[in-house]
Amino acid sequence: MRSHGMNAELILLNFYRRPFTDTNAWTPARERLWLRYVVSRYAAFGHVFLWTIANEYETHPDGRYRLDFPDDVDWAKATTQFIKANDPYHHLVTVHPVVSASRRGETPRAPIDPPWRIGEFFGHDAAMDVLSQQTGASDEGAQWDETLRCWVGDSSSLVASLRTDRQYRKPVLNTENGYEFLRGHPTAKKQVHHTDKVRRSAWRSVCAGGYFAAGFHGTIGHSDVWNRLDSSSWLEGQEFYLAHKPAVVLGDDQVPCVIQSDRANLAHTRLADIIEPCPVAEVRAIATAIQKKMHEPIRVDVPHLAAAMGADEEAAVGQGPHGTDFFQRRGRGQLPIAAAE
């Protein structure tokens, strides 16, 4: 990436998959251990320009799309401070949201008082360097075109969102305003947008004093194998090939990778030599096995890190929101976060 002049935004936590969503296995101590490791591993890379705590942080801590206020916001602020304390190179830090601070409910589909904004949550937090937005995709001004199978039009609220959050005098980065469609490809649950709409959103963001992240169909999570395994409909009517190497390592097992492609496009690559046609039924069986493996209770056994984890557990006593019993006792709305002592 560096040789091509590309910079990286690194997302540190993934509350879509185990162990991150296992509130028994993913303790506060393990979370801090993980964060310290990742930050230490990548902080020295000059082209890592931004730490993002989590994608759609409202899924914290168990993977459910619901904002626990103020718990989730306070957790994000505390995590930002922890990252800052462990990053000797002082990278910028942000968190990627989906629920507006002006929401009238706690889910992404809840109505809001326009425009969509996040500044009330993080604008005054000194450790949160960048305000990340997710708006302009399918709101007012955008229409779904059934013929083209993508969103078209022009968001009428994108600029208002940027203007509102810019008052906190921080960079405002719209990291998800619409993924550019690829004609003839699946719609990824209607999350693809016409090229003209994506281009207009980019220009509007820049001219309004903001920044944007560009995405296309292949960068949507639904296009990743690990995400598609959750949907049985993904397997229907598709043509797959089974690559016998390399393999995905899951614990002690090695499961062959599942690759969706047109064999003709692979004819001129070395991959063509290792790919064989695989019936959908066989792929479904592999997908089921992987999914079952992913949802099994996990056992974290890292003996040489036991001492460090024990020290973290001891240090966490009495702290909020990183107290040792935070995940175990909290429940949804049952344990308010106390101020750190």
pLDDT in tens, 261-283: 343 443 333 333 433 444 445 55
User: What is the pLDDT, as a whole number, of residue 325?
Assistant: 39
Question: Exposed, middle or buried: residue 5 (CB in 10 Å: 0-12, 13-18, 19+)?
Answer: exposed
C-alpha closest to that of 49 among 82, 15, 86, 1: 1
Name the token pair of 134.
């997710």
- What the block records as the tokens of 228 is 């598609």
pLDDT number for residue 287: 53
> Is residue 331 scored above 80 in pLDDT?
no
Fill in the DSSP letter of residue 178: -
In this prediction, residue 314 carries a pLDDT of 52
Six-digit token string for 193 = 């947008």
For residue 46, what pLDDT is reported? 87
Query: Residue 130 has what pLDDT?
Result: 97
* Nearest C-alpha neighbor of 266 from the set 279, 282, 277: 277
Instruction: Enter the tokens of residue 325.
Output: 């019993």
CATH fold for the domain made of 2-224: TIM Barrel (3.20.20)
The DSSP bridge partners found for residue 173 are: 132, 211
- Edge-to-edge strand list for the sheet holding 131-133: 131-133, 172-174, 211-212
Residues of the chain with CATH 3.20.20.80: 2-224
Query: What pTM was computed for the model?
Result: 0.68
Q: Is 236 helix (H, G, I), strand (E, B) or coil?
A: coil
- Residue 158, both tokens: 């994108």
Residue 191 or 313, more confident: 191
Residue 135 pLDDT > 70: yes
pLDDT digits (tens, 9 = 90+) for 64-80: 999 999 999 999 999 99
At 52-67, the pLDDT tens digits run 999 999 999 999 999 9
Distances in whole angstroms, Cα of residue 24 to Cα of each of 1, 62, 307: 37, 10, 19
First CA to last CA distance, the chain: 43
What is the residue-averaged pLDDT of the chain? 74
Range of weakest confidence among 2-16, 48-62, 222-236, 304-318: 222-236
**For 171, what's the count of Cα atoms within 13 Å in the CB-facing half-sphere?**
14
